[in-house]
Structure formats: structure tokens, C-alpha cells
Chains A and B, each alone.
Chain A
């Protein structure tokens, strides 16, 4: 195959060109397994354990359901549904909302921060799980913050890179093996937990480190779970474009990221409240026996690789398109490695990642919830689910999505206002809250403010007369129909 033919072949799945229907890998079941593979990683246990800091089991279940169900649906409407319809990855789609420069700005600040953090955390989780296997099987005494944990984390990162280098087909194949195994492991963990405690004791267990105000504790628990739900935003659009229809992208992702996540989080919360440690990898070997323990631990360890592979795939695509001409011709494998370098560096500080987890999740939630509000207002209300594909790919000022020098000011201002609203209601750095936070959380008002403000600002800053954004112009489809 000539170099030109190879470049054309890679332009869809490995590039930012639209993926055609016959190239799409994932039907309803496939995408459900991909999302289940994403959901059941060690991070779900960590979130469950962190929720138990503030609330008991009953309120914790409520907080997880509210945060994950509401947050995941809002996030999916702002990602997979759009990408699946056009077969276009989300950072290219976002040009129609934020402009070319706006997308680059968002990617190289918020998204890079979020995704490098999650990637490093997944690596560290793999490292700690592997260290635990070694400690029990070989009698080693590897500390959770040891350099060996970082070495294992780097192996996880390298494995995810190898998986992604072969493309989404390998991710699908890997998930078909790992995800069902993980589902069985989760069932086993739940059964074990209920042999160690009763439902009555579980419901009576006190939260581990609550504030004095019970309403505040519940609101923080909901907010934290909303933050987790919104934190899927950076990767879901790129995965969603490989699904065969918007329906096959929305509901399977909901099943995986909301329903299955909640079940996995419950394991973390129940084990934190009853066994004193959120992480099943710590007690699994003694609880489940050596054989089951090692098999279960290996599945959990590999789950971190599947989750990381999905992150790397999405962000490598994003890196290619957000960087303009800089990485336009860089080989896919090299680009994936470039994305993973910062994650590899951060994985040298596994303790920091765990200690600052709550801050990290809520801080990224502040930005991502606001962006979701803007995207939903733009795509569903202003554009009525129609995007001009030609304009997405037209260069610079030739595109109707060039807005003001590459930035859609209406979208940028409304998103920043959403972030401001979030920080006014809840400051993740200082943990200061406004009285309203106990009733509204911070993410929900952030979505609402950016949604409404974008609807108000767009006609003012991108009027029909100006032609900016093409809000009043027909798409090629409408033109063709006339």
C-alpha cells in the first residue's frame, strides 16, 4: 500500500475525518461492553470510598444514583449523540460551538489537565493492584507509594499504548474478554461483602469523615458523583462516533457509565464502611483465597488498562485535530505516545493523585458541566441537531465556524459564566459553599447558567446578519432539499 493510500485509509478511524457507517465498529451490545469496561475500573471503588467520607450507605446510594444518572445523561447528550450522528469525533464537532481556537484552548487547558490526571491515576491504580498481588503471592512488602508502583504504572501505560496503537478493533476485542469477567468479579465482591455484614449494619454505618451539617454532606456527595459523571465528557464523543446510530451511543453508554458504575461504586462504599478500606484489591487476597483473589485482582488490574486505552484513543484523536498542522502528519502510534508522556511523568507521584482525588474530580466537574450546558444549548436548541459538515473542515476564516478570529465569544463567555457560578456555589479548593449549594449542588446551576446564557448571547454576538456561526444559514442538506 502506498503512503498516500495508507494516509487515506487512516484518515477515518485514526484521524478526524468522518467515519462512514460501514466503518463503524460498535453496535448496541459492543458499545455497552466498552462502557462497562470503562466503568468497572478501580476508580469506581475509589469514588465509592470517597462518597463514604461524607454520607452513610443509604444516603450514599441516593447520592450515587442522582449524581451518576443525571450527570451521565447530560454529558452523553453533549457528546456521543452528536458524534454518532455524523461519525465525527467531538473536538471537530466542537468547532461549530466554540470555534477552532476555542476548541484548542479548551483542549490544551481543561482537557489536558483532566485526562493526564485520569491516565496517571489509572496507571497508579494498576500499579497498586499489581503490588498487592506481589505482596501476597511472593511475600514482598511493596509500599503503595513505592517507586515499584510507578514502574507498574508505566507498564500499564505502555500496555494501553500498545492496545491503542492497533486501533478501536483491539479495544473492542479486549473489552469483550475483560468486561464480562469484571462483571462476575463485581458480583463475587458483593456476595463476599454481604457475608461479612448485614444490611441493617450497613445502613447504620456512620460516614467516615463528615462535616457537621448533614445537608452539606449529602450535597457534597451528590456533587462529587456529578463531577465523576461529567468527567467522562472528554472521551465519550470520540468513542461515540464509532457507534452505528445515536440510539446505539446513548443508551448503552448510560447502562455502562451510570448503572454499572453505581454498582461498582457501591462495592467501594460498602467495603469502606464495613471493612475500613475502599479498595477491594487490599482485602481481596485474604478474603477470596489465593486463586480467586489473584484472578479477580488481575481482572481489576486489566480493567484499568481498558479504561486507559479508551482515554488514550480519544485524546490522541483530539490532540491531532486541536494542534492544527503541528501533528497533522504525525503517525498515530507516535501521537498516542506523545499524549502519554505527561501521564507517565505524573505517575511518579501516586500518593498525590490519591490524596487530591476529590479536588481533582470536582475541579474538572466545574469546567465540564459548564461546557455541557453550552454544547446542549447550541446543538439541540440553536442548531436543531443539524451541523454543516463542510464548514467543520473548511480552513480558518473560510469556515462559517470561524466566529471572531477562531473563537465563538458567546460560547466562551457562557461557559466561563457557568464555571463562575460553580465556583461561587462551591469552591473545591477551600471547600467553602454558598447556602444555595445544599439544595442545588454546583454542577446543575453551572449547566443551567451556561445553557441559558448561550441562548441569550448567540443572537447578540452572532447575529443572522453577520453570518457568524451559520446559525441562520441552511445546511447543505437543507440546501439540497430546496
Chain B
């Protein structure tokens, strides 16, 4: 009985957490994705670094 109760409580807790995160996501503040500017900044750093590597190896 205790095991079943625990499983039910955990299942309920998981559902609660998913609901909270998704409502935050809908508000797009607390859990927002990286913006395209941030993403491009990251990729530009990668490509510039690799290009420098190519130049050094030449």
C-alpha cells in the first residue's frame, strides 16, 4: 500500500512540475530559449576560432 501511495504521490508531483514549467514557458520569461542573437554569437565565436586555426595551420 505504501509503495502504491508513493508511486501515486510521485506521479502527481511530476505532473505538477511539468505544468509549472510549461506555464512559465508560455510566459516566456523564466525558462526562455536562447535568443537568435545569443545563438549566432556562440556560432560566430566557433567559426572565427576554427578559421584562425586553419590560418595558423597554413
Which A residues lie at the B interface, using CB under 8 A? 3-5, 7-8, 11-12, 17-18, 20-21, 59, 62-63, 65-66, 69-70, 73-74, 76-77, 81, 85-87, 215, 218-219, 222, 245-247, 250, 380, 385-386, 389-390, 393, 438-439, 441, 444, 476-477, 480-481
Contacts and interface: CB of A to CB of B under 8 A. Distances in A.
Contacts of A86: 21, 31
Contacts of A74: 46
B27 to A, nearest CB: 10
A7 B25 CA distance: 26
B17 A385 contact: no
A73 B46 contact: yes
Interface SS of chain A? helix
Contacts of A20: 17, 20-21
B46 A12 contact: no
Interface string B24-58: 11100011111000110011011001101110110
B33 to A, nearest CB: 4
A70 B50 contact: yes
B34 A246 contact: yes
Contacts of B13: 8, 11, 17
A62 B56 contact: yes
A115 B32 CA distance: 31
Nearest to B50: A70
Nearest to B18: A389
A392 to B, nearest CB: 9
19 contacts: A3-B2, A7-B9, A17-B14, A17-B17, A18-B17, A20-B21, A21-B31, A59-B56, A62-B53, A65-B49, A65-B52, A66-B50, A76-B42, A222-B53, A246-B33, A246-B34, A385-B33, A476-B18, A481-B26
B34 A247 contact: yes
Interface in B2-21: 2, 5-6, 9-10, 13-14, 17-18, 20-21
Nearest to B15: A390
Interface residues of B, number: 33
A444 B47 CA distance: 11
Interface of B: 2, 5-6, 9-10, 13-14, 17-18, 20-22, 24-26, 30-34, 38-39, 42-43, 45-46, 49-50, 52-54, 56-57
B34 A250 contact: yes
A7 B10 contact: yes
Given A20-B20, A389-B18, A476-B22, 12 more contacts: A7-B6, A11-B13, A62-B52, A66-B50, A73-B43, A76-B42, A87-B31, A215-B57, A219-B57, A246-B33, A250-B42, A385-B34
Given A20-B20, A69-B49, A218 B57 contact: yes
Given A4-B9, A62-B56, A247 B38 contact: yes
Contacts of A73: 42-43, 45-46
Given A21-B24, A62-B53, A222-B53, A85 B42 contact: no
Given A21-B31, A81-B34, A246-B34, A87 B21 contact: yes
A380 B56 contact: no
Given A8-B13, A66-B49, A3 B31 contact: no
Nearest to A85: B31
A444 B26 CA distance: 36
Contacts of B49: 65-66, 69-70
A234 B50 CA distance: 23
Contacts of B26: 477, 480-481
A81 B41 CA distance: 14
A11 B11 CA distance: 10
A218 B45 CA distance: 20
Contacts of A21: 24, 30-31
